Structure 1
């Protein structure tokens, strides 16, 4: 999807007011449709019944219902209560309810909320209608205009100003779209009294030519420090090469600056994959709690994740790779850091971030990670008493309350798993029948038993000390 933002300049104030009224009616129609969808009304009934009350043509009504349905489905996917959706934004609505805000500050917030609630209009593209019927781009001698259908055979024209400062390249691109039969969708939004248009077209990608047949490039993006770790593996999952790409520019600066550099780093990753002729494996874009895999937890982790916007970077890598005909594989990132730090960091003497990228790459090839024999022997010899001693040690030595809580929570979970194993003969390390424990839980126990004593204040970057345990099975040594 390619989206271009532009500001609309109206020939007179009357035309602008006509469009604002259209946006208000469309927004109201969308909210009304949302309520009816909650009550179980079907789309055909709504499309027939909503045209007259809101004085909209059938295409505008259809688009309003489609948007309402999208909001409803999104709310359900996020496990939110659809009945509690607030159009205009919950954050602004909550601020408006605070009694200590009054005067100009209150009026400013109220205007922002009203604009987000009532200042919307969406018109989908249609190839059969040569682009877009209700909101069409038209190229004239004196500029590029948007023709907006405001009623039966009534149109308002607004000049398209591509960007805050006139951007000729954007305007030329919009002209090409307008003069072709490519379907494009247009969304109008009211911001600070001005109307902005967002033109979106579906991008057609070339055929995939670079697949995982010869191996993959695994990508692990880290919020602290800001860097991308990558690994190259062959088709059998063997490590060939690896690297680390620092991203200091994403630690500070304006939104536009960070967006620019995200594109630059995405280009670098895709360039590596193209040169090596391998597919790219990334973490699934739907993951919500990336920070739990990093070095921090709580407020600090959330702050880092917010600043870093790793999801945006992954999305850009995915887009650029598709443009180059490179296969992109998304995998579940669960426990990739834990498995990487315990299994491959000491084995290949690499950092935990590169090791996590290696696990991601292998997972993209469909390979399973088995727990090494010496780790299995160590886990079978581990006792609940030893974990209880570790708990007391953490209580006495760890000062940071957030890290201490995290350690104690993990230790208690490990104790729970070991206690459930005591009734099994020989304490065989395998997923337990009739329980909720899986192989991943044993990796958690292993992390608690070997990493927490190694560095209780924070997750270490060097795991070479685990080599003796992993290869020689020495776990009783001090």
Structure 2
């Protein structure tokens, strides 16, 4: 199970009062201790693992691969991590992250959302709701920043831009990534493709995972020039 030290319960004025109330009444430490106690009585070993990005890896990699719920996929990642397995990024995800046109599209979706939130902020007078909008705006801007950094790295190494057209990774290139790299994958695929940071409907992901066919899941047309590069 995940080695949870604390759970983010939000803060007063964040615009998420109902969620804060639910989290306040959830005694996760008591639940985890009961699991450990029950396991011990049954002669079962409990292995605690780093919880970082288990949900993201499950949603991006195993839910679309096996056609399972994202929560079940997350527990699959926890189990693999407990057994010592390392997660590799699927090859077609790597191809798309090396494809300038896709990254430009992803950045464009965040730019649209950023402008939408700024307009909401101008019109909203309720301070609690403004706080919630501000929080979401910061997340969008952070995600956009990560993708802009990735795009810049491709501009510094233009040879990688043709990867989506079928180039296999060079010998010695590794698909194993640090856990923080999954954050880039999260912002590159979840919102641009699903329209949400995390969605129950992950059916648009298999075309990306299996064939890198991002055109099938594009949610809107993109201007001729995005991110300063003509398509």
Q: With structure 1 as the length reference, what TM-score do the two structures score?
A: 0.35
Residue pairs, 1:217-296, within 5 angstroms: 282-286=1-5, 288-289=6-7
Show the 5 A alignment for 1:146-225. none
In structure 1, the residue matched to 2:36 is 318
1:336·1:356 contact (CA, 8 Å) conserved in 2?
yes
Residues of 2 paired with 1:394 and 1:414: CA distance?
14
Structure 2 unaligned spans of 5+: 121-131, 161-168, 219-231
| Cα deviation 1:36-81 (Å, max 9, x = unaligned) | xxxxxxxxxxxxxxxxxxxxxxxxxxxxxxxxxxxxxxxxxxxxxx
Name 1:377's counterpart in structure 2.
Answer: 95
Tell me the residue number matched to 1:36. Answer: none
Q: 1:450 to 1:457 in 2, by over 3 A?
A: closer
1:473 Cα deviation from its structure 2 partner: 1.9
Residue by residue over 1:296-338, the C-alpha shift from the partner in whole angstroms, topping out at 9 and shown as x without a partner, is: x875554443222223211210121112211000000100011
Structure 2 counterpart of 1:467 = 206
Q: Which residue of 2 aligns with 1:415?
A: 148
- The counterpart of 2:58, out of the listed 311, 327, 340, is 340
Mapped to 2, the partners of 1:426 and 1:329 lie a distance apart of: 43
Larger radius of gyration: 1
Q: Secondary structure at the match of 2:47?
A: strand
Note the 1:58-207 alignment, pairs <5 A.
none
> Cα offset for 1:354?
1.0
How far is 1:356 from its partner? Answer: 0.6
Unaligned runs of 5+ in 1: 1-281, 432-437
Name which structure has the greater RCO, CA cutoff 8 Å, separation 6+: 2
- How big is the alpha-carbon RMSD for the aligned residues of Structure 1 and Structure 2? 2.9
More helix by share: 2
Deviation at 1:392, TM superposition (A): 1.7
1:363 aligned residue (47, 72, 81)? 81
Indicate if the aligned counterparts of 2:39 and 2:45 stay in contact, CA closer than 8 A: yes
The match for 1:395 is 114
What is the SS of the residue equivalent to 1:328? coil
- What is the aligned counterpart of 1:439 among 178, 184, 187? 178
Q: 1:449: which partner in 2?
A: 188
- Equivalent residues of 2:2, 2:78 under 8 A apart: yes
Residue 443 to residue 457, structure 1, CA distance change in 2 (3 Å): closer
Q: Deviations over 1:232-270 (max 9, x none)?
A: xxxxxxxxxxxxxxxxxxxxxxxxxxxxxxxxxxxxxxx
Counterparts of residues 295-314 of structure 1 (less than 5 Å)? 299-300=16-17, 302-314=20-32
